[in-house]
Amino acid sequence: MAYPGAFDHQSNVNPAQLTRPGQSNGAGDARALYLKLFSGEMFKGFQNNTIARDLVMKRTLKNGKSLQFIYTGRTTSEFHTPGQSILGNDRNAPPVAEKTITCDDLLISSAFVYELDEVLSHYDLRSEISRKIGYALAEKYDRYIFRAITRGARKASPVSMTSFEEPGGTQIRVGSTTNDSDAYVATNLVNAFYDAAAAMDEKGVSMDGRVGILNPRQYYALIQQVGENGLVNRDEQGTARQRGNGVVEIAGIKIYKSMNIPFLGKYGTAYGGTTGVTAPTNLGDFVGVTAEDAGDATTGINNDYGTAAELGAKSCGLIFQREAAGCVEAIAPQVQVTSGDVSVIYQGDVILGRLAMGADYLNPAAAVELYVGATAPTAF
């Protein structure tokens, strides 16, 4: 029996009678007016570690447009004839050659920050923009150096005097099939590293400063074999080993991972037919896809970094010693911000990152390119 005024638990309240404080003007999304809290984090995108700058010969360029590097070839020895004057080698040995690296034009990355947007924003806008600008410059820095090393691995020595043959670059095939997936097989990579070490030993390249740069998927396939197949890791364990910072070695070659090497026609992102993996559609940059990467014909580029066609789609890793390439810096990577009258006039600031550098191969004997397929990529 229901008493007058009693609440009927079985009855339904008409939704039209509800007061929804989150609605705008009593209509639409019931949560539209609720506060959107800032998590304290921003999605930073795909950030790459830049490593090439400290792995090659780096020089500061001042009061000039280019820097000269000198090669000295081998000389000869001979037995002395009693009574004969010693006046030097009669074959003009050792032969000497040069390599000149020119500074490219000023490379910039910039953004305008409107002051009112900063006032209204509840997160630090400038630091995030500055960080992204720095990443853009550093990424380009690595890509040009790795492309220069790739070019060097396909070149003969600059010393070309008759009867004084000097060793050139090395190209080593990974695996024995024509499949791109050979590039991800740990055993194939280990064998290629030992071949590269032997080749550099035979060419008289110093053991000091030898490194290998692999695609991340190659690196992770490889480190699972640490302790087997000749991989050595005496210093680090756990997460340090997985970061790809050169703590794993094969034949004295420290191994790094990078998304900035020319890899199967892309910058470290081609999947190459890996078993059970479906490649996503929006992943990575194609080598040579932008105007800045198009090659030596592009305005602003004064060195030959190769085009997409020249670099090809079969390169899958680099092994080199620090003398393989040189880098000249006129302006090191830096960030500048406007202020004063400029800020008053435009009611905001321009955040500018800039860099003036150039890179090219130096000693081809110190450069090794890994590739897949039956035919090695051609020189350019």
pTM of the shown model: 0.82
Integer angstrom CA distances of residue 72 from 93, 160, 165, 276, 365: 9, 11, 12, 51, 13
Q: Residue 249: which residues within 8 A CB-CB, separation 6 or more?
A: 231, 232, 233, 255
29: in domain: no
Neighbours of 216 (CB within 10 A): 15
Q: Could you report the per-residue pLDDT of 55-76, keeping only the tens digit for each? A: 999 999 988 899 998 877 777 7
88: in domain: no
235: in domain: yes
225: in domain: yes
Going residue by residue through the chain (380 aa), what tens digit of pLDDT does each one get?
555 555 455 566 676 777 778 788 878 888 877 776 666 655 655 556 678 988 999 999 988 899 998 877 777 787 888 988 887 776 677 878 888 999 999 999 999 988 898 888 777 788 888 888 888 888 889 999 999 999 999 999 888 777 777 899 999 999 999 999 999 999 999 999 999 999 999 999 999 999 999 998 899 888 877 655 556 554 555 555 555 565 688 899 999 999 899 999 988 777 766 666 666 666 667 776 554 454 444 578 999 999 888 999 999 999 999 999 999 999 988 888 888 888 899 899 998 888 999 999 999 999 999 999 999 999 99
Domain, as residue range, for 115: 52-75+95-371
249: in domain: yes
Q: Could you report the per-residue pLDDT of 242-276, keeping only the tens digit for each? A: 555 656 888 999 999 998 999 999 887 777 666 66
Residue 101 phi/psi, 5-degree rounding, is -110, 125
Contact indicator for 316, 293 with CB cutoff of 8 Å: no
Q: Residue 93: which residues within 8 A CB-CB, separation 6 or more?
A: 73, 74, 75, 76, 164
Q: What is the pLDDT of residue 358?
A: 95
Q: What's the token pair of residue 328?
A: 């000249």
356: in domain: yes
Q: Could you report the per-residue pLDDT of 272-286, keeping only the tens digit for each? A: 666 666 666 666 677
Contact indicator for 301, 290 with CB cutoff of 8 Å: no
The tally of domains found in the chain comes to 1
13: in domain: no
Beta bridge partners of 57: 326
Rounded CA-CA distance 353/41 in Å is 23
15: in domain: no
Contact indicator for 93, 164 with CB cutoff of 8 Å: yes
Measured in whole angstroms, the distance separating CA 116 from the mean position of its chain's CA atoms is 36
